[in-house]
Amino acid sequence: MVKKLQVLHDLGLGYLTLVEETPGLSGGEAQRLKLASEMGKGQADSVFVFDEPTIGLHPDDVRVLLDVFQRLLDQGATVVVIEHDLDIIRNADYVIDMGPGGGVDGGRVVIQGTPKAVKACPDSLTGRYL
């Protein structure tokens, strides 16, 4: 039990209470809670897809989440993250930058490659912030 609670803490969810209902959680919290249930299982050949898991996270907890992603990668998993947080993007192995804007102005690949390649792309709004 202590090991499972440590995983919750490591995922930035240490503030939750055991009696809290999950409908009250943000999307990012719910994703991290689901991830906690998967930690400790065999991760080889698994694919994890996260949609903005940093929502509601304190910046210090983003580093913790990056460490969890690295653990998954080290165990042979593939991690796909849809994210706007620049720390997450900077730490990615591969980025697909969509745009050039949102809504009707989006929907095409502006650049794909390393964060360094995205940063060097003059058409990438994301690259300007990296």
* Confidence (pLDDT) at 17: 72
| C-alpha triplet 71, 73, 75: angle, nearest 5° | 70
Segments making up each domain of the chain, as ranges: 2-85, 94-130
CB atoms closer than 10 angstroms to residue 93:
8
| C-alpha triplet 49, 64, 6: angle, nearest 5° | 95
Q: State whether residue 111 is helix, strand or coil.
A: strand
Give the span between the Cα atoms of 63 and 43, in whole angstroms.
Answer: 21
Give the span between the Cα atoms of 46 and 89, in whole angstroms.
Answer: 21
CATH architecture entry for 2-85: 3-Layer(aba) Sandwich (3.40)
* Confidence (pLDDT) at 12: 73
* Confidence (pLDDT) at 121: 97
* Confidence (pLDDT) at 22: 61
Give the span between the Cα atoms of 100 and 46, in whole angstroms.
Answer: 31
Tens place of pLDDT per residue across the chain (130 aa): 677 777 777 777 777 777 766 667 777 777 777 777 777 677 788 898 988 888 877 787 788 888 888 888 988 999 999 998 898 899 899 999 998 888 888 889 999 999 999 999 999 999 999 9
Q: What is the largest CA-CA distance in the chain?
A: 50
* Confidence (pLDDT) at 100: 84
